[in-house]
Structure 1
Amino acid sequence: MPRLLRAMGLLAMLLVTQGAMAQKLRMAADAWAPYADVSLLNGGLSTDLIRTALTRAGYTTEYEQVPWARAIHGVSEGRYDILINAWYSKDRTQIGEFSGEYLVNRLRFLKRKTSGIEYQTLEQLHPYSIAVVRSYAYWPAFDNDAELKKVPVASFSTAVRMLAAGRVDLTIEDEYAARLALSREPDEVRDNVEFVSGSLSENGLHILVSLKNPDHEKIVADFDKAIAAMKADGTYDKLFKLHGL
């Protein structure tokens, strides 16, 4: 019995030591609801998905919400280990390693429910007025199409209210950002608009792990494996539902 107790004590000490040695990863991003925002439940959908995956993989995390330029610069210098919401670009491979795609951003048009507008090509939309948020970059083909009747507005809230009131024919927004925004709109707005089938563009979201972290390859591999397991066991879908998406 004393030997068994000693063995159990040693095992407990080993587990405590391993827990204490778990690598803490410093994550950063700018505010981008519903993906990352400290005012949202668990910091937003992306933050929650990533933290859950990394915790399963044996890491601890801390998150700092900073302007986008500071987040990028911090990853390049190694001040942050992870940029949590990154679209792939070749330039960024010089500062970090991309994970696999853990989420997809879809830019989609919205119309009034009574409208028969359909979308397959941008040319189909030339006759219609489209509310767009000033200074937003949507998609090069859309941004550069001079035949589209774009109506600049201050925010998506303004755009969707104009749409519901019949002052424009369409508006456009990231699907999940639009769903969150619509949940905060009055019933007369929310109940009178809907998404047009299809999407203008789709971009995969990745984490970008700083090359300054010597374990960047392992972190990416561990993260990808954990996301796959979360999808398989239903945790991934449960987190979407938790965030109202």
Structure 2
Amino acid sequence: MLMPSLITLSQHIVRTMTLIAFLLISSLSLAADGPRKVVEDAASKMTQRLITDKEKVNTQSYYVEHLVDELLLPVVDHVYMARKVLAKNWKKTSDAQKKQFIDAFKHKVIRTYAGAFKAFNGEMIIFDDAKFSKTGNRALVKSEIQRIGAPVINVTYKLFNKKGQWLTYDAVIEGVSLVKSFRDQFNQSIDQHGLAQAISLLAAEYKSETPILKMAGHSWEPYISNQLPANGLAVNIVTEVFTRAGYQVEMEFMPWQRVTEEMEAGSIDMSAASWYNQTRARETQFTDAYLNNDLVIIKRKLDKLTYSTPAEFKTYIDKRGYRLAVFKDYGYGDYFSEIAPLVSLNFYKYCTQMIRDVANKSTDIALLDHWTAQNSLNNTKNIADHLEVMPTLIQRGLHVTISKLRTDHQAIAEAFNKALAEMKQDGSYQEILKKHHYPAI
């Protein structure tokens, strides 16, 4: 822990800090149409969640911090603030130290805001109109916090426009900048402990108290990939749902077989994406399905295979010697168990190779998720011209599976299911689908 004199502001600023974080949000909403809308929307969402999640707010000590991280931090440029606090020391730190400091400073900001939402008592505030810089990309909003039986507190908020979005980066209380105060504190710590130790001490004090879940998954574009925004649609949904439920997710990418082994060993808490089967259900806890996968047949256009129902497909392929390309150890379901004896199964690791082999006649047909298949075909136009996507053959729900080695596996699943339902109801789930251009939207 840092010495109190090094980690706290002056007594006057301490008394107002719990007001400032909330008032920062409130005052910005009156600044101008640009910054106003961004922050007003965030404040509205925060207020609504404090009401709807009242039970979690009262029973989970970290939950308000989680809400701040999810809803308010997007309108605060904590990275820029962190750089301003480090100032000349920024260039002296390694990349690892920069990351450590930014993470710690982020939690310092989160904790400040969370304390504000717990302490705000509805003090009266009077605001002046926003004053913009000559370039129009920075703004100041002056305000007065009027307290009963106490002097007025003058606060000026600083904002800047970053790539079209207004973000806050400082508040000046009675002429004292919060960023400067934090910088002065940290410089004192550097003088006493040295730069590296000062960063370590800050990181030790300001770290997330949100429970961490370790999740793993294999690359499966466009659902899961470390090359995609937010690591793909599936990871994005699962992470956001667990965030809503009050958990922090750490994602690792690894082959499917290793995902299974790591869960069995207890080093991984859950798998990001699984189709249900009874064997897995004995070993893991399934959540509700957060997506539905339509599995389709990919065939060559010259192939006369046709069907409109699963029963027709089963009848057509019987005794025709079809070679069916599939992924090994996938939970395709009961219907797949019926058709598997009627074909020769060819196992693959990669969708692109599966599609190429259908085109070059190394295999006859492939069973793939529709969106996955379409994504691969869009990236291989020369091959796609020779192939055809058939109607949906199998539908499978996509679930998170949680290791039953965790004694709280059922509680985790229930929290996920509840948060998923809430997100579907308030529209935030649908927004994620749209962001990833999911074809069902």
TM-score range, shorter chain: 0.7 to 0.9
- What's the TM-score, normalizing by structure 2? 0.45
Task: Give the letter for the 1:38 counterpart.
Answer: N
Write the distance in 1 (CA, Å) between the matches of 2:289 and 2:371: 16
Shift of 1:84: 1.3
RMSD across aligned positions (CA): 3.8
In structure 2, the partner of 1:218 is: 411
Query: SS where residue 373 of structure 2 aligns?
Result: helix
Query: SS where residue 20 of structure 1 aligns?
Result: coil
Is 1:72 the counterpart of 2:267? The answer is no
Report the structure, 1 or 2, having the larger helix content.
Answer: 2
Query: SS where residue 371 of structure 2 aligns?
Result: helix
Write the distance in 1 (CA, Å) between the matches of 2:428 and 2:277: 29
Write the distance in 1 (CA, Å) between the matches of 2:387 and 2:419: 37
Q: 2:368 aligns with which of 173, 176, 179?
A: 173
Shift of 1:159: 4.3
| Larger RCO (alpha carbons 8 Å, 6+ apart) | 1
Q: 2:341 aligns with which of 144, 153, 156?
A: 144
Alignment of 1:1-245 (within 5 A): 5=16, 8=19, 15=114, 20-110=208-298, 112=301, 117-120=306-309, 121=312, 122-125=314-317, 132-133=324-325, 139-146=336-343, 155-159=353-357, 161-162=359-360, 171-186=366-381, 189-190=383-384, 193-199=387-393, 201-245=394-438
Write the distance in 2 (CA, Å) between the matches of 1:215 and 1:229: 21
Write the distance in 1 (CA, Å) between the matches of 2:211 and 2:368: 37
User: 1:185-232 CA deviation, whole Å, 9 max, x = no partner?
Assistant: 22x554675532331x22222111223334322221121122222322
User: 1:70-100 CA deviation, whole Å, 9 max, x = no partner?
Assistant: 2223223321111111222333344332111
Checking the alignment, whether the CA contact within 8 Å between 2:235 and 2:272 is kept in structure 1 is: yes
Give aligned pairs, total. 236
User: 1:50-85 CA deviation, whole Å, 9 max, x = no partner?
Assistant: 011111222111111122232223223321111111
Query: SS where residue 144 of structure 1 aligns?
Result: helix
Task: Give the letter for the 2:427 counterpart.
Answer: G
Checking the alignment, whether the CA contact within 8 Å between 1:76 and 1:96 is kept in structure 2 is: no
**Which has the higher Rg, Structure 1 or Structure 2?**
2
Unaligned runs of 5+ in 1: none
Cα 1:8/1:153, change in 2 over 3 Å: closer
Checking the alignment, whether the CA contact within 8 Å between 2:317 and 2:342 is kept in structure 1 is: no
Cα 1:74/1:216, change in 2 over 3 Å: same
Write the distance in 1 (CA, Å) between the matches of 2:340 and 2:259: 26
User: 1:168-189 CA deviation, whole Å, 9 max, x = no partner?
Assistant: 9854322121022112122x55
Checking the alignment, whether the CA contact within 8 Å between 1:36 and 1:44 is kept in structure 2 is: yes
Shift of 1:103: 1.7
Checking the alignment, whether the CA contact within 8 Å between 1:129 and 1:151 is kept in structure 2 is: no
Q: Which moved more, 1:209-218 or 1:223-232?
A: 209-218
Checking the alignment, whether the CA contact within 8 Å between 1:129 and 1:169 is kept in structure 2 is: no
Checking the alignment, whether the CA contact within 8 Å between 1:131 and 1:172 is kept in structure 2 is: no
Write the distance in 2 (CA, Å) between the matches of 1:64 and 1:73: 14
Unaligned runs of 5+ in 2: 1-11, 21-63, 65-110, 116-204
